[in-house]
Structure 1
């Protein structure tokens, strides 16, 4: 039986590449995005390569659109095999300078959206006694980084949410959960993050300015000198996601590159895939 997969945030980057890659590997793909007007590239690929992809509108910050997309999949297929929580957005700014709207936005997109999408699929996966949830988190979900505290906080929250959830849904309902932790990705995600990383307002003349400028300079240097080592393409990350989807016993967490692995080593060396800790939690509480 063909497995289906719901992927969020497929207008570009990892989501776009994953939709195409999964379809080429015999999955039925429900490619979702907030604005279907941005689906031109995917529509073209679907037509040119006759891909088994259906486009659906889904805004991870709006529960009604999540429910509508899930209901469409259930009506079409009677099941949902894989949820791929890919949608997210970068953000770098001091906590002092972030507005209330920005703080809510970065949390809604990167954390609440994951929770709401997961909440929507769980009843169906529980009833069918199988399912898989794959999440694009970040090395920023394990390691806090300067001027990224709001973004990292949201990604840490996803990691904690998924770690806790897997302790009881994996054995009881055969629902497998994995957090993929990339470093830098050469996609529109990076461009969007850079666009939101601006020296403006009080920051332009305040005490944070020298630190922030050093941070920006370091980012640029890494991009210029170590692009091949630090930054992956969307397709490279999508290939890791496909490997996880095809695994019988996927790990709780996995870095998607050697650079990401090295960057997180102090946090992960005792339990690289997170499975030992999950088993310890199960032994302690269940």
Structure 2
């Protein structure tokens, strides 16, 4: 019997690539997205590769939508073997420029959404005595990034949630993993960059630092950026390996950054690392 994989946020980027990669690996994939009108790219890619996918509507910000989708999958397939929490939303801006509404939106998609879907799926995995929950985090879930205050807060929350849940889940036969990409070339990134350039409430005091950060980020994407397909393969590995780890950094560069934090109990080296990406003075 084929294993059932439920993947959130599959209209583009990592989610789209993951749905295809899991289908190639032999899973029956239930690919979800908030707006099924945006399923064209996924459907075309699946058709071109001769893959069958089941599309379902799910808005991770809507409890009723999450519950209804999970129930449909259980009624149709009787089980969910792998959950991939991928749906996410980025935000780039200084803390002073970030309204509570912006913060709530970022937290709702990136953290509360993960909580809602995990909470809906978990009882079924617990009853089955097996399952895997893979959540797409970020290097920004382990190391704070300038001008990513809201986004990093949400991803830090995901890391804490999953790290706390993992030993409890393990007692029920459920394995937990965090997928931790660095820079990834995707529509997600393009959307964030478009938003930051169109923000109307940017403060001049941050202009020089923001420009320096964006320039450095562009260089990072050019030099170490990965493709959604590379992250998708990492997710397939975590979904299928016998000895699954808690954390899956997406590259040796990310592994090096993470190991730097974990051997630095006072945090000074991370503060220095991030500070080196900004001008020495605020310029205002």
Q: Tell me the SS of whatever aligns to 2:97.
A: coil
Task: Tell me the residue number matched to 1:157.
Answer: 157
Contact 1:73/1:80 (CA < 8 Å) preserved in 2? yes
Q: Per the alignment, do residues 50 and 262 of structure 1 end up closer, same or farther by CA in structure 2, a change over 3 Å counting?
A: same
Task: Tell me the residue number matched to 1:215.
Answer: 213
How far apart, in 2, do the equivalents of 1:50 and 1:203 lie? 47
Task: Tell me the residue number matched to 1:245.
Answer: 239
How far apart, in 1, do the equivalents of 2:200 and 2:46 lie? 44
Deviation at 1:169, TM superposition (A): 1.4
Q: Per the alignment, do residues 129 and 99 of structure 1 end up closer, same or farther by CA in structure 2, a change over 3 Å counting?
A: same
Structure 1 gap segments, 5+ residues each: 271-286
Task: Tell me the residue number matched to 1:260.
Answer: 254
Deviation at 1:200, TM superposition (A): 4.5
Q: CA RMSD in A?
A: 1.5
Task: Tell me the residue number matched to 1:191.
Answer: 190
Deviation at 1:202, TM superposition (A): 4.6
Deviation at 1:199, TM superposition (A): 6.8
CA deviation digits over 1:10-32, x for unaligned, max 9?
00111111111111111000000
- Give the TM-score of the pair, scaled to structure 2: 0.89
Deviation at 1:267, TM superposition (A): 2.4
Which deviates more from structure 2 when the two are superposed, residues 246-255 or residues 139-148? 246-255
How far apart, in 2, do the equivalents of 1:268 and 1:253 lie? 13
Contact 1:137/1:159 (CA < 8 Å) preserved in 2? yes
Task: Tell me the residue number matched to 2:270.
Answer: none
Structure 2 gap segments, 5+ residues each: 265-284
Task: Tell me the residue number matched to 2:80.
Answer: 80
Contact 1:89/1:192 (CA < 8 Å) preserved in 2? no
Q: Tell me the SS of whatever aligns to 2:242.
A: coil
CA deviation digits over 1:186-241, x for unaligned, max 9?
01011111112237445242x222211211222223334x1xxx211000000000
**Count of residues in correspondence between the two structures:** 264
